[in-house]
Amino acid sequence: MKRGLFLCVLSMLCWHVNAAFVVREVVLSELPEYVIPIPQEGDTLSVDALKESAMIYAELGAIEKAADLTEKYIQKTHNAQILQQDALVAHQEKEPFKKLNEAYTPKFDGWSLFYLYAGLIGLFIAVVLNLKREGDRVARVLIGVFLFLHSLFIIHISLFRAKYTFYIPHSLYSSASFSFLYGPLLYFYFKRISSNYKLRIIDALHLLPSLLLIAYLIPIYMYPAEQKLAMMYQREAQVGWLDHAIVVLKTVSLITYAFLCYKIYTRNRKIGQTGIKAMIWQKNITIFNGVYVLSYIIYGLIITRLVNAEFLVHPQILSMAVLVLYVGYSAYINPNVLVGGEKKPEPIKKYKKSGLAESLSQELADRIHYIFDHEEYFRHNDISLENLSAKLECSRHHTSQVINAHFQCSFFELVNRYRIQEAKDQMAQDVYRNLTIIEIAYGVGFNNKVTFNKAFKKDTGLTPSQYIEAITRNSGKLGVNTLRQG
């Protein structure tokens, strides 16, 4: 009797366990079709039903279906707070919900914080520059606005990466409106600090692309927050034609104005009428801007989904951030150079009676350094004191005086010093091993081998052939001793 009762109870328990298992399997397999269907295109399932369905699937352990319904709810309501529900939080470490949290939950990472920092620094520098009275006012405004717009874009990118733009829907396309201003601002800034260029009414045509874009975006800016939020979620899923158009047109604008800025820089370097510090400043900005343009092209391919390489997004934003920080550094170290305050020296005529002023003497010495070090003026085989004086816009007497005072040698000794040093550098490098000695001599500016040998021996105490043998023995580099002796 007892044994029969025990078997009866055991059978009932087994039946209940098995029934529960069967019911669960039926629910998981049949629920989507018969109880709470997953909405397809054109379905009108309410947001409440979506939310409840997501909760049920999460509690039943159907993670993929729960995540799918949760995302549909977020895209329909534009509210990611559902991810904080207890039923969903329990699965946040699982892959489908990890992706949802990465896509919709606001959180600053290392990159976002760095970009935010760089952007705030840039805003501060832009304001400070325009509060100062030193330097050229127009140059201050141009570089200040350029820096301000870059900084706003970087901050917007920081908030976008951290997903905080979903909580600031009116930020939609806020940085796109000035996409076509970067190039013109930098271009006219270069013209201003190079030749004191005065802006004309016709120059306003450079603003036309930006004005047309703003006019097109005004209706979007007037949308209510809910509609802008819907557009943000739509952009997350699919890039629209407007994004493609902005990327293409901005790329064309950046390339065009980068080329114009480069032409101004090369012209200034060629005529040598800009101060040494200003020349270095222009060179660095030209390089930074070129790197930015190249990285933006890659960035544009990625954000328009033409290239799938998310990690390559960073170089473009990083180049902007570095440019902003460099401008900030330069504003602290060389504020006069930044705002066009470094002027080229007055012609030496003013100093004929009073002698050469110490400050002007140092300025001329700096310019000679730049001409010889960066332009390699010593390579010209027709170089003369008269030519150098004309390049410096001063008399032969004052050029010679500066060389004697700052370089402790004569003009021709200075030229030969640079030429011989360049020749020695080439002799020590394998890449020049196929050159003869006379080819090296001509390459560094000498007109004949005799003069070269004489100057070389005076500087080193050895003939060129002896010097090659000496460095070959000392270094053991096989590439050097193959230098032809002709």
> What's residue 274's pLDDT?
61
Do 276 and 227 fall within a single domain? yes
Do 299 and 410 fall within a single domain? no
Do 251 and 358 fall within a single domain? no
Print the domain residue range for 62.
18-104
Q: Which ranges of the chain have pLDDT less than 70?
A: 1-45, 78, 235-240, 271-276, 305, 307, 309-311, 313, 339-357, 475-486
> What's residue 149's pLDDT?
92
Tell me whether residue 11 is in a domain. no
- 471 token code pair: 């460095």
Tell me whether residue 10 is in a domain. no
Do 289 and 151 fall within a single domain? yes
Q: What is the CATH number of the domain that holds 208?
A: 1.20.1070
Do 114 and 27 fall within a single domain? no
Q: Which of 431, 451, 434 is nearest to 381 (CA)?
A: 451
Tell me whether residue 311 is in a domain. yes
Q: What is the CATH number of the domain that holds 467?
A: 1.10.10.60
Rounded to the nearest integer, the mean pLDDT of the chain is 77
Do 162 and 187 fall within a single domain? yes
Tell me whether residue 93 is in a domain. yes
Provide the number of structural domains found in the chain.
3
- For tokens 């930006």, the residue is 210
Do 152 and 288 fall within a single domain? yes
Tell me whether residue 312 is in a domain. yes
20-50 residue pLDDT tens: 333 444 444 444 443 445 545 445 567 778 7
**Burial class (CB within 10 angstroms; exposed 0-12, middle 13-18, buried 19+) of 375:** middle
> What's residue 480's pLDDT?
41
Q: How far apart are CA 203 and CA 211, in angstroms?
A: 14
Residue 246 contacts by C-beta under 8 Å, 6 or more apart in sequence?
Answer: 176, 179, 213
> What's residue 247's pLDDT?
83
Do 191 and 289 fall within a single domain? yes
Q: How far apart are CA 113 and CA 435, in angstroms?
A: 53
From 74, 104, 134, the end of a domain falls on 104
**Taking the CB of residue 145, how many other CB atoms lie within 10 A of it?**
17
> What's residue 275's pLDDT?
64
Do 434 and 290 fall within a single domain? no
Tell me whether residue 275 is in a domain. yes
Do 327 and 272 fall within a single domain? yes
Bin 108: left if φ > 0, else alpha if -120 < ψ < 50, else beta.
beta
From 69, 104, 139, the end of a domain falls on 104
> What's residue 394's pLDDT?
82
Do 358 and 328 fall within a single domain? no
From 104, 129, 146, the end of a domain falls on 104
> What's residue 311's pLDDT?
65
Do 423 and 446 fall within a single domain? yes
Q: Which of 349, 323, 328 is nearest to 338 (CA)?
A: 328
Asked whether the whole model's pTM tops 0.75, one would answer no
